[in-house]
Amino acid sequence: MSGQIRLNCGGVSTISLQIAMVKQTILTMKQPQLGQKIQEWRKAKGMTQEELVERCNINVRTIQRIEAGEVAPRPYTVKAILEVLEVKSEEVKELKLDGEEPAKPDQLRAWLRFSFVTGIIYLIFAIVESVLDMALVTEGRSIETGFGMLYTSVKMGVLVLFIMFTSGFFKLGQAHGNILIKLVSILMIGATGIFIVDDILTYWNGTDIYSGLIFRSIVAGSLYVLFATGFLLMARERSKLYLMTGVIGLMTGVSFLTVVFAIPGLVLLTVFEVFLLVVLHAEYKGQASTESMTLVGKAQVL
């Protein structure tokens, strides 16, 4: 973009923001926080990126890069956008009062890479866990000595790895302002922890391994549906990968909710988790690209 913005962007401005105020905001508010706030204000107005582009006469790619935190826009570019979004001057002044600091690009990239690697290991452990669960169901407790320790170790390994894997989506939701993904990530970790501890206690206490399976299926299904919805909400502005991941997650959740199709749902769950890994990898590569652009020109502006 040439850097020239029509000051009458969007027609008659409903508010008047001084360029000096915007300059001060940018100095105290670094990317990607600025882009995240612009995205939040745009969504609050029920406006798509295309609609914002129309009213501001700004390139679509420009808006995408600002909201993604890839570039630091000039003050008058921000001023034009905020005028169209009808952001009050008080909101601009109080930006730093927000309690949550989004993850910095390099920190987010590290989390995504960490979660991706642990996610792969988690899938391997999850397959081993399924084999042990099947052995327990078919052969009962007549399995040779040492199975209990192996069973417990694998279960705890699955829990730890699942926490590491899912934490990446908490960070992802935080970076993109998706509260649903953040919240469900926490709920999924909590529910998985309870289920795995219950599995271990059930084995060592010798109680009925089938008790509570219907309840678990319904809880898991509900969480998967909510988690998938979070990806569907982001699909419009991210990529088709988010749409595909959301659809598969939705199918997985519905399968568990029916209880009857919970077994086929396990297959869908594996596919869903593979897609989640792909999402982490795609976001990681995107963050790597952003970081490279920053190194080439830290002072890049529109």
Q: Tell me the per-residue pLDDT of 87-101, one tens digit each, with 9 for 90 and over.
A: 766 666 555 444 444
Q: Which of 40, 142, 136 is nearest to 82 (CA)?
A: 40
pLDDT at res. 68:
80
How confident is the model over 105-114, as pLDDT tens digits?
Answer: 678 888 899 9
CA distance 294 to 196: 43
Can you tell me the distance from the alpha carbon of 298 to that of 293, in angstroms, rounded to the nearest whole number? 8
Task: Please indicate whether residue 102 or residue 61 has the higher confidence score (pLDDT).
Answer: 61
pLDDT value of position 238: 75
User: Tokens 């299926």 identify what position?
Assistant: 217
Flag the least confident range among 13-27, 81-95, 121-135, 148-162. 13-27
Predicted pLDDT of residue 60: 78
Say if CB 223 and CB 253 are below 8 A apart.
yes
* Contacts (Cβ under 8 Å, ≥6 apart) of 109: 284, 287, 288, 291
What are phi and psi for residue 227, nearest 5 degrees? -65, -45
Percent of the chain with pLDDT over 70: 73
Within 144-261, where are the H helices? 147-175, 179-205, 213-235, 240-258
Say which residues have a Cβ less than 8 Å from residue 69's Cβ, sequence separation at least 6. Answer: 31, 32, 33, 34, 35, 36, 105, 290
Take residue 107 and report the two structure tokens written for it: 């920190």
CATH fold label, 19-97: 434 Repressor (Amino-terminal Domain) (1.10.260)
Query: So what's the pLDDT on residue 91?
Result: 64
Alpha-carbon dihedral sign for residues 277, 186, 161, 175: positive
What pLDDT score does 2 carry?
40
Quick one: pLDDT at residue 143?
A: 61
Of the CA atoms within 13 Å of residue 80, those in its CB half-sphere come to 22
Alpha carbons 271 and 3: distance in angstroms, whole number: 45
Span 116-129, average pLDDT: 96
For 23-58, write each residue's pLDDT tens digit.
444 444 555 677 788 888 888 888 888 888 788 777
DSSP state letter for 96: G
Number of CB atoms found within 10 A of residue 59's CB: 13
- pLDDT tens profile 196-226: 999 899 888 877 767 778 999 999 999 999 9
- Exposed, middle or buried by CB within 10 Å (0-12, 13-18, 19+), for 228? buried
In this predicted structure, the answer to whether residue 67 has a pLDDT above a threshold of 50 is yes
How far is Cα of residue 171 from the mean position of the Cα atoms in its chain?
Answer: 6
Tokens of 162: 């699942």
Q: Rounded CA gap, 109 and 288, in Å?
A: 7
Q: What is the mean pLDDT of residues 258-275?
A: 93
Whole-model pTM: value is: 0.64
